[in-house]
């Protein structure tokens, strides 16, 4: 299904490739996984310094997974390890597919293909790790970036108040502790992506999805949830793009709960509604679920 999302509109705009970039977003928060694993990934665990435009290429999903695994502590549970594997392999599948398309069109022009470059933000001493891959000046992607981040930090009262408003499990845990958030830790892993195609007939796509866990000092999880959203921003609106995105998202949601899509869709409509023009500027879906 996802290859169809990539190539469904390639023929619409002549020689310049038009690409349908709804591919990596459908159903991410409702548990649908792209378990793409590199054929022969580089398994190195060594750090890579930041890049300034001509830095190193992406070394593969297993390499990224191993890099994050170095930061996970002994209290990390199976869910955290699974989420890291999911987001790093999803990042790699996006990079791999876009680079494949860049190679295809570069070969036709007889030029070297544009590739992603990587920036590793290694601040493990502060509980932070991130891998961002970017591409610029390609034949398919004018600019694109896809990043995976992980953060672990103490939960402060301001964050706890904001989060507990929508998460009764967290609110209950805080009440049981007499209103104190002392000792509670927040762990977040997420993936973000934005793609600006060269061809104006291809919509810009953006998405970000995150998994939150709130835990006690002994590692017991008191609350968890997914959050995030996705949107398509077309320059030229094609109805089939909007239909394809929402059909895919709706189908992914319904595999888990038929109420998810009708629940989340109005949130997205409200979020993107322009109160001045009374126009919704994007094709979008926001999700926030357990």
Active site residues: 206
What are the backbone angles phi and psi of residue 253, rounded to the nearest 5°?
-65, -40
Query: Helix/strand/coil (H, E, C) string of the chain?
Result: CHHHHHHCCCCCCCCCCCCCCCCCCCCCCCCCCCCCCCCCCCCCCCCCCCCCCCCCCCCCHHHHHHHHHCCCCCCCCHHHHHHHHHHHHHHHHHHHHHHHHHHHHHHHHCCCCCCCEEEEEEEHHHCEEEEEEEEECCCCEEEEEEEEEEEEEECCHHHHHHHHCCCHHHHHHHHHCCCCCCCCEEEEEEEEEEEEECCCCCCEEEEEEEEEEEECCCCCEEEEEEEEEEEEECCCCCHHHHHHHHHHHHHHHHCCCCCHHHHHHHHHHHHHEECCCCEECCEEEEEEEC
Cα(170)–Cα(45) distance, integer angstroms: 36
Cα(269)–Cα(229) distance, integer angstroms: 12
Gyration radius of the chain over CA positions = 20
Locate 82 and state its tokens.
């699974």
Q: Are 60 and 90 in contact (CB under 8 A)?
A: no
């Amino acid at each position: 299904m996802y290859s169809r999302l990539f190539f469904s509109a390639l023929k619409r705009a002549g020689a310049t490739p038009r690409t349908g970039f709804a591919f990596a977003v459908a159903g991410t928060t409702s548990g649908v996984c792209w378990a793409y694993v590199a054929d022969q990934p580089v398994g190195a665990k060594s750090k890579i310094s930041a890049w300034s435009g001509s830095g190193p290429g992406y070394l593969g999903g297993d390499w990224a997974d191993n890099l994050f695994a170095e930061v996970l502590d002994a209290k990390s549970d199976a869910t955290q390890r699974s989420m890291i594997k999911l987001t790093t392999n999803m990042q790699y599948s996006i990079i791999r597919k876009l680079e494949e398309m860049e190679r295809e069109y570069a070969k036709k022009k007889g030029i070297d293909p544009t590739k992603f470059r990587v920036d590793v933000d290694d601040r493990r001493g502060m509980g932070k790790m991130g891998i961002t891959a970017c591409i610029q000046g390609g034949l398919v992607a004018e600019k694109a970036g896809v990043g995976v981040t992980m953060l672990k930090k103490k939960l402060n009262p301001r964050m706890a108040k904001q989060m507990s408003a929508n998460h009764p499990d967290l609110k209950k845990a805080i009440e049981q502790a007499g209103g104190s958030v002392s000792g509670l830790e927040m762990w977040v892993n997420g993936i973000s992506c934005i793609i600006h195609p060269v061809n104006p007939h291809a919509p810009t796509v953006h998405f970000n999805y995150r998994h939150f866990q709130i835990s006690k000092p002994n590692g017991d999880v008191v609350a968890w949830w997914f959050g995030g959203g996705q949107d398509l921003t077309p320059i030229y609106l094609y109805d089939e793009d909007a239909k394809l995105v929402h059909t895919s998202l709706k189908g992914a949601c319904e595999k888990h709960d038929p109420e998810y899509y009708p629940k989340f869709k109005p949130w997205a409509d409200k979020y993107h509604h322009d109160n001045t023009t009374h126009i919704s500027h994007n094709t979008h879906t926001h999700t926030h679920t357990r």
